[in-house]
Amino acid sequence: MGRPQITGFSIRVGGSAPDLPRLSMVAGQLTPVSTSDGGVTWSGWAVTDGSAPTIAGDGVGVLLAGELYHTAALRTAIGSAADGVRTGAELLLACWLRYGTPGLRLLDGRFAAVVVEGGTVVATTDHAGTVPLYLRWGTDAIELATEAKALVGGCHGGLPVPGTQLAPGLPRVRRIQAGTAVTMVPETGFATAIRTWRPPMHRIVLPEDVAIARVTAVLDEAVRSRVDGRRATVVLSGGIDSSSVAALAHGVGALAESVSLGTDAGDEFPAARIVATHLGTRHAEFRIGAEDLVRQLPWAVAAAEIVDPDVLEYLLPLVVLYRALPGDGRHILTGYGADIPLGGMHRGARRLDSLDEVIAVDMSTFEGLNELSPVLAGVAGHWTTHPFWDRAVLDLLTMLEPGLKRRHGRDKWVLREAMRGLLPETTVHRPKLGIHEGSGASSVWTSMLLGAGVAAVDVPAVKRSVAIALHERVVGRAEAPEDVSFEEVLREVVAN
Ligand code: ATP
Ligand code: MG
């Protein structure tokens, strides 16, 4: 089983114990949380592999969903208190006992966590908020959950809290910001926040060979740390990003299988096959009808909990692929997110000043898009992790001066060069193709709207309205996505 011990939770600090939560995450079993560690009473539910959901020691209670990476260095820093520590939660506890709240800046991983001590509650995300964490501070309790839908329905709370932002479409639910730890004292109502990470704004200048070597090393380490003895599935398009991850996972003997999604409107099967053949690894293709893919939008909205139709077009094919995969509890690596620090989406940005500007903007606006959320695969029982958003990879790629990203007429130049020895020449040079383009997700959604009588000029606005209407049902009312019909929602939107 490739999943972490805990993959999600919905808890309440103070007040009465909550009912069974409305979580989409099925990657594990719902286990009750009930404790008074840390000087407060907290209760609720965690999605676990059967392990105890919380741990406690020296008056501190910890709940951690997700996993920590690069833990050897952290153990060294903590010293003998880390001896015998096995799990991420235990390591967090040991780190906390040595460093306190600022120690959360040492943690490197994919997680959302709650730490309680002395009547104080601290809610924290990883550097990039890759495991979303939501908060509702009501009159009698603080509620925290890894899915917003678990917190809707209450009539109180939702006051501004430092380090949080409103979740889309939900007036009383707030999202803890990426790279942030929010400290709350339920008894007094006091709240404050610290940043644990920020995207770098400066750029470093390196000789070509040094930059290439650093990118190779840091990405290799990110993949090693993520597989950590497990066998992984790679979602592979044959583009440079996922092919890099597949090659590195294979290099450490951890690539169990690569998988590709295609539809009757388009696929990247030949490109992915070239990579799998080159590596000599097992590969599987899944083809579904493009309209059936679009009909699964309620699943994508329920998992991502967003209303942005462009982002939903990227995430939909992945959610559909995760749902199509046989087996339970796969450990999945993706190539998702490389384009943000490398500016890969901005193929038209010819000048380096505009390339760096869009990178700076994208790195400061990724929050809340939930593109890396584990719930996307968690709805199908799997766990994902994204080496390109490893903290050290993200730092390095963001910091590299833009001339290393667009060079000799190529986009993502430094990554392509770093992978030259591991991948076929055609893959190294393959132009970027977005997941929403390769699968036809964008174009088929558009043609379904046109078929329903929407004028071409109105398509973007209607896509947004459909996303909002779906969100209202599968998040706002926490309806099960299998009970929500895309076509019915589309008809209602068009009729209004
Ligand atoms: P490139 O940016 O050069 O196209 P890429 O295809 O690997 O590289 P994206 O297009 O940004 O990257 O797609 C994001 C990620 O989604 C990929 O890295 C891959 O993990 C996954 N993905 C995209 N398309 C598919 C597909 N058709 N089948 C399986 N996984 C896919
Ligand atoms: Mg692609």
Q: How confident is the model at residue 155 (pLDDT cuts 50, 70, 90)?
A: low
Q: Name which of 12-26, 97-111, 299-313, 333-347 the model is least confident about.
A: 12-26
Q: Is 385 in the pocket of ligand 1 (CB under 6 A)?
A: no
- pLDDT above 70 covers a percentage of the chain that reads 99
Mean of the pLDDT values across residues 185-207? 97
d(CA 336, ligand 1 centre) in Å: 7
**458 in a structural domain:** no
The C-alpha atoms of residue 46 and residue 51 are separated, in whole angstroms, by 10
Q: Is 432 in the pocket of ligand 1 (CB under 6 A)?
A: yes
Q: Of 432, 437, 472, 479, which one is the catalytic site residue?
A: 432
Q: Which of 195, 220, 247 is the last residue of a domain?
A: 195
Q: Which of 393, 416, 435 is the last residue of a domain?
A: 435
- 332 and 241 within one domain: yes
- 266 and 182 within one domain: no
Q: Is 28 in the pocket of ligand 1 (CB under 6 A)?
A: no
- 103 and 142 within one domain: yes
Kindly report the protein residue whose alpha carbon is nearest to atom 14 of ligand 1.
Answer: 336
3 state DSSP class of 383: strand
| Digit-coded pLDDT (tens) for 294-340 | 999 999 999 999 999 999 999 999 999 999 999 989 999 999 999 99
**279 in a structural domain:** yes
d(CA 242, ligand 1 centre) in Å: 6
The C-alpha atoms of residue 244 and residue 216 are separated, in whole angstroms, by 10
Q: How confident is the model at residue 349 (pLDDT cuts 50, 70, 90)?
A: low
Mean of the pLDDT values across residues 224-248? 97
Q: Is 260 in the pocket of ligand 1 (CB under 6 A)?
A: yes
Confirm whether 412 is a catalytic residue: no
Atom nearest to 243 CA in ligand 1 = 7
Mean of the pLDDT values across residues 368-379? 97
Q: 388: which DSSP letter?
A: G
Q: What is the CATH number of the domain that holds 398?
A: 3.40.50.620
Residue 17 scores a pLDDT above 90: no
Mutate to test the pocket of ligand 1, among 237, 275, 436 (most ligand atoms within 8 A of CB): 237
**427 in a structural domain:** yes
Q: Is 216 in the pocket of ligand 1 (CB under 6 A)?
A: no
**61 in a structural domain:** yes
* Contact between residue 162 and residue 191 where contact means Cβ atoms under 8 Å apart: yes
Q: Residue 240: nearest ligand to its CA?
A: 1
The C-alpha atoms of residue 488 and residue 278 are separated, in whole angstroms, by 45
Q: Is 434 in the pocket of ligand 1 (CB under 6 A)?
A: yes
**455 in a structural domain:** no
- Element of type H or E holding 448: helix 441-451
**485 in a structural domain:** no
Q: Residue 266: nearest ligand to its CA?
A: 1
Strand 142-145, strand 55-57: pairing: unpaired
Mean of the pLDDT values across residues 156-170? 87
- 269 and 218 within one domain: yes
Q: How confident is the model at residue 350 (pLDDT cuts 50, 70, 90)?
A: confident
d(CA 241, ligand 1 centre) in Å: 7
Distance from chain centroid for Cα 489: 27
Q: How confident is the model at residue 476 (pLDDT cuts 50, 70, 90)?
A: very high
| Tokens found for residue 411 | 């986009």
Residue 61 scores a pLDDT above 70: yes
- List Cβ neighbours of 380 (8 Å cut-off, separation of 6 or more): 26, 319, 322, 323, 325
d(CA 300, ligand 2 centre) in Å: 19
Closest CA to 302 of 315, 314, 288, 287: 315
Q: What is the pLDDT of residue 153?
A: 77
Closest CA to 416 of 352, 315, 360, 335: 335
Q: What is the pLDDT of residue 345?
A: 86
Q: Is 325 in the pocket of ligand 1 (CB under 6 A)?
A: no
Q: Is 138 in the pocket of ligand 1 (CB under 6 A)?
A: no
Q: What is the pLDDT of residue 112?
A: 98
Q: What is the pLDDT of residue 18?
A: 79
Q: Is 241 in the pocket of ligand 1 (CB under 6 A)?
A: yes
Q: Which of 435, 465, 481 is the last residue of a domain?
A: 435
Kindly report the protein residue whose alpha carbon is nearest to atom 5 of ligand 1.
Answer: 239
d(CA 383, ligand 1 centre) in Å: 17
- 172 and 146 within one domain: yes
Residue 413 scores a pLDDT above 80: yes
Q: What is the pLDDT of residue 1?
A: 60
Q: Hunting for tokens 């597949």 — which residue is that?
A: 246
Confirm whether 432 is a catalytic residue: yes
- 230 and 183 within one domain: no
- The side-by-side arrangement of strands in the sheet containing 283-288 is 283-288, 255-263, 232-235, 331-333, 383-385
Report the mean per-residue pLDDT for the chain. 95
The neighbouring-strand residues paired with 17 are none
Q: What is the pLDDT of residue 54?
A: 95
- 62 and 146 within one domain: yes
d(CA 187, ligand 2 centre) in Å: 50
Q: Of 257, 291, 336, 405, which one is the catalytic site residue?
A: 336
- 25 and 90 within one domain: yes
**Total H helices, total E strands in the chain:** 18, 18
Q: Name which of 155-159, 201-205, 266-270, 451-455 the model is least confident about.
A: 155-159
* Contact between residue 44 and residue 11 where contact means Cβ atoms under 8 Å apart: yes
- The side-by-side arrangement of strands in the sheet containing 174-176 is 29-35, 42-48, 6-13, 142-145, 134-137, 174-176, 164-166
- 262 and 183 within one domain: no
- 101 and 67 within one domain: yes
What domain range is 17 assigned to?
6-195
| Tokens found for residue 334 | 């993706």
Q: Is 335 in the pocket of ligand 1 (CB under 6 A)?
A: yes
| Tokens found for residue 140 | 């009698």
Q: What is the CATH number of the domain that holds 100?
A: 3.60.20.10
Confirm whether 313 is a catalytic residue: no
Q: Of 268, 371, 412, 463, which one is the catalytic site residue?
A: 371
- Total domain count, the chain: 2
**306 in a structural domain:** no
d(CA 492, ligand 2 centre) in Å: 33
- 245 and 185 within one domain: no
Atom nearest to 430 CA in ligand 1 = 3
- 257 and 111 within one domain: no
27-30: Cβ within 8 A, 24+ apart = 27/3, 27/329, 27/374, 27/377, 27/378, 27/381, 27/382, 27/383, 28/3
d(CA 270, ligand 2 centre) in Å: 13
